[in-house]
Amino acid sequence: MARRLMTLLALAPLLAAPRSVAFEAGGSVCVAPIEPAESLAKPPGGKPPSSYTAQIDDRPPIGVEQGWGHLESSLNLSTTHLVRIMGDGESRTSFRFTFTGGEGRDLCLWFNRLYDGWSLTPAKHRPKMCGCGRAR
């Protein structure tokens, strides 16, 4: 009886704690804000897009802005997902990804203006850039 009481007392803070996004099921992708910089790349047509959107699977497109990140959460951990990037309304790139690979369930989608390219990396590798409010 005493052992059960001690176990309950030890677990009480965990059970009483408010639920936060850290307890959310599924994976997440933080669409990081675009950082201002000049590009060394020469995109087709010679002028880089003035606005980007990112779309994951069939979810609504996300406007990628300076200064504001966006968290796409509750993504299925066991399926393959599709990311589509649009620049000024035209398709720029697309790729597929999964959460399998041991890098965790929190990813960061970010744009490197210097090279005019998009990357998807574990959020823990870019904590300052990918601060979408998810506990890491």
- pLDDT tens digits, 58-103: 999 999 887 788 999 999 999 999 999 999 999 999 999 999 877 7
On whether residue 108 sits in a domain, the answer given is yes
In this structure, is residue 103 part of a structural domain? yes
Range of the domain at 106: 25-41+49-136
Any domain includes 68: yes
User: Number of structural domains, the chain?
Assistant: 1
Region 106-130 average pLDDT: 86
pLDDT in tens, 3-61: 444 444 444 443 343 333 344 479 999 999 887 655 555 555 566 778 899 999 999 99
CA dist 121 → 3, 24, 28, 113 (Å): 44, 20, 12, 16
Residue 58 lies in a domain: yes
CATH number, domain with residue 118? 2.60.40
Q: With a cut of 90, say whether residue 135 has pLDDT above it.
A: no
State residue 40's pLDDT score. Answer: 58
The per-residue pLDDT for 38 is 58
Q: What is the pTM of this model?
A: 0.71
Model pLDDT, residue 51? 86
